[in-house]
Structure 1
Amino acid sequence: MHSPASHAELVTATAVAGVAFILIAGALLGRLAQRFHQPAVVGEIIGGILLGPSALGLLPGDITGRLFPAEARPLLSAIAQIGLLLFMFMIGWEFDLGLLRKRRTAAAAVSLSSVVLAFGLGAGLAVLLYSGHSTVHGKHVSGTAFALFLGAAMAITAFPVLARILTDSRLMHTRVGALALASAAVDDLLAWCVLALVSAIATASGSGTFVQTLALSLAYVAVMLLAVRPLLATLFRRLVRANALPHLMVIVAGGVFLSAYATTWIGIHPIFGAFLFGLVTPRQPADALQLHLRRPLGTVGRLLMPVFFIITGLGVDIGGLTRRNYLELAAILAVACAGKLIGASAPALAMRMPWRQVATLGLLMNTRGLTELIILNAGVSLGVLDTSMFTMMVIMAVFTTALVGPLLPRLGVAPAETAGPAAGAAAVPEPAHPDEPALVGDEPAVPESARGPAAQ
Structure 2
Amino acid sequence: MAMNTTEIFLLAMMLIFTIPYIVWRFGRTDYYAPLVVVQIICGILLGPGALGAVYPDYYQFVFNPQVILTLSGIAWWAVMLFVMIAGIELDIGKAWEHRRETGITAGLALGVPLVFGGIAAAGMLGYAGWIGSKAATWQFIAGVGMACAVTALPILILLMEKLEILRQPIGQRILRYASVDDIAIWGVLALILLDWERVGRQAGFLVGFGVVTFGFRRLMAALKEGDRWYVALIWLAVCGFGADWAGLHYMVGAFLAGVVMDAAWFDQTKMDNLRANVLLVVMPVFFLSTGLRTNWGVGGSAVFIAAAALLFASVSGKLIGLRIAGKVLKWAPGEASIIGWLLQTKALIMIIFANILLDKQIITNETFTALLLMAVGSTMLTVPVVHPKLRRMREIIFRSGGAATDAATSQAQRPGP
Does the TM-score normalized on the shorter chain lie above 0.5? Answer: yes
Inter-partner Cα distance in structure 1 for 2:166 and 2:272: 22
Q: Does 1:366 align with 2:344?
A: yes
Which residue identity is paired with 2:231?
I
- Please say if residues 89 and 277 of structure 1, whose CA atoms lie closer than 8 Å, have aligned partners that are also in contact: yes
Inter-partner Cα distance in structure 1 for 2:273 and 2:165: 25
Q: Aligned in 2, Cα 1:29/1:102: closer, same or farther, shift over 3 Å? A: farther
Q: CA deviation at 1:306?
A: 0.8
Inter-partner Cα distance in structure 2 for 1:419 and 1:142: 48
- Please say if residues 176 and 360 of structure 1, whose CA atoms lie closer than 8 Å, have aligned partners that are also in contact: no
Inter-partner Cα distance in structure 2 for 1:378 and 1:133: 18
Inter-partner Cα distance in structure 1 for 2:159 and 2:384: 12
Of 9-18 and 114-123, deviating more is 9-18
Inter-partner Cα distance in structure 2 for 1:142 and 1:15: 38
SS of 2:252's partner is: helix
Q: Does 1:389 align with 2:389?
A: no
- Please say if residues 260 and 270 of structure 1, whose CA atoms lie closer than 8 Å, have aligned partners that are also in contact: yes
Q: CA deviation at 1:130?
A: 2.5
Q: Aligned in 2, Cα 1:89/1:122: closer, same or farther, shift over 3 Å? A: same
Q: Aligned in 2, Cα 1:85/1:117: closer, same or farther, shift over 3 Å? A: same
Aligned residue number for residue 64 of structure 2: 69
Which residue identity is paired with 1:26?
P
Q: Aligned in 2, Cα 1:405/1:77: closer, same or farther, shift over 3 Å? A: same
User: Unpaired segments of 5 or more residues in structure 2?
Assistant: 406-417
- Please say if residues 118 and 141 of structure 2, whose CA atoms lie closer than 8 Å, have aligned partners that are also in contact: yes
User: 1:166-210 CA distances to partner (integer Å, 9 max, x unpaired)?
Assistant: 12112335554333222111111111110111122xxx2xx3x25
Q: Does 1:182 align with 2:162?
A: no
Inter-partner Cα distance in structure 2 for 1:51 and 1:331: 25
Aligned residue number for residue 355 of structure 2: 377
Inter-partner Cα distance in structure 2 for 1:297 and 1:170: 18
Aligned residue number for residue 261 of structure 2: 281
Q: Aligned in 2, Cα 1:72/1:145: closer, same or farther, shift over 3 Å? A: same
Q: Does 1:354 align with 2:349?
A: no
Aligned residue number for residue 192 of structure 1: 186
Q: Does 1:86 align with 2:86?
A: no
Q: Does 1:227 align with 2:205?
A: no
- Please say if residues 173 and 416 of structure 1, whose CA atoms lie closer than 8 Å, have aligned partners that are also in contact: no
Inter-partner Cα distance in structure 1 for 2:201 and 2:155: 32
- Please say if residues 92 and 180 of structure 2, whose CA atoms lie closer than 8 Å, have aligned partners that are also in contact: no
SS of 2:83's partner is: helix
Inter-partner Cα distance in structure 1 for 2:265 and 2:168: 31
Of 411-420 and 304-313, deviating more is 411-420
Aligned residue number for residue 14 of structure 1: 8
Inter-partner Cα distance in structure 1 for 2:112 and 2:396: 30
Aligned residue number for residue 148 of structure 2: 154
Of 183-192 and 67-76, deviating more is 67-76
Aligned residue number for residue 97 of structure 1: 92
User: Unpaired segments of 5 or more residues in structure 1?
Assistant: 422-426, 429-438, 442-456
Tell me the C-alpha RMSD between the 2 structures: 3.0
Q: Does 1:50 align with 2:45?
A: yes
Q: Aligned in 2, Cα 1:70/1:226: closer, same or farther, shift over 3 Å? A: same
SS of 2:348's partner is: helix
1:268 to 217, 240, 248: 248
Q: Aligned in 2, Cα 1:248/1:301: closer, same or farther, shift over 3 Å? A: farther
Q: Does 1:212 align with 2:200?
A: yes
- Please say if residues 118 and 343 of structure 1, whose CA atoms lie closer than 8 Å, have aligned partners that are also in contact: yes
User: 1:243-287 CA distances to partner (integer Å, 9 max, x unpaired)?
Assistant: xx3x65443322211210111011111112122222333555545
SS of 2:345's partner is: coil
Inter-partner Cα distance in structure 2 for 1:226 and 1:210: 25
Aligned residue number for residue 308 of structure 2: 330
- Please say if residues 220 and 228 of structure 2, whose CA atoms lie closer than 8 Å, have aligned partners that are also in contact: no
Q: CA deviation at 1:42?
A: 1.1
- Please say if residues 243 and 252 of structure 2, whose CA atoms lie closer than 8 Å, have aligned partners that are also in contact: yes
Aligned residue number for residue 311 of structure 1: 289
Aligned residue number for residue 144 of structure 1: 138
User: 1:57-113 CA distances to partner (integer Å, 9 max, x unpaired)?
Assistant: 243463233222233212111111111111111112222223313432222211101
- Please say if residues 221 and 265 of structure 2, whose CA atoms lie closer than 8 Å, have aligned partners that are also in contact: no
Paired residue total:
403
- Please say if residues 134 and 143 of structure 1, whose CA atoms lie closer than 8 Å, have aligned partners that are also in contact: no
Percent of paired sites with the same residue: 25
- Please say if residues 86 and 301 of structure 1, whose CA atoms lie closer than 8 Å, have aligned partners that are also in contact: no
- Please say if residues 348 and 358 of structure 1, whose CA atoms lie closer than 8 Å, have aligned partners that are also in contact: yes
- Please say if residues 86 and 255 of structure 2, whose CA atoms lie closer than 8 Å, have aligned partners that are also in contact: yes
Q: CA deviation at 1:229?
A: 1.9
SS of 1:403's partner is: helix
Which residue identity is paired with 2:311?
L
Normalised TM-score (structure 2): 0.86
- Please say if residues 134 and 141 of structure 1, whose CA atoms lie closer than 8 Å, have aligned partners that are also in contact: no
- Please say if residues 172 and 178 of structure 1, whose CA atoms lie closer than 8 Å, have aligned partners that are also in contact: yes
Aligned residue number for residue 123 of structure 1: 118
Q: CA deviation at 1:325?
A: 3.8
Q: CA deviation at 1:369?
A: 1.4
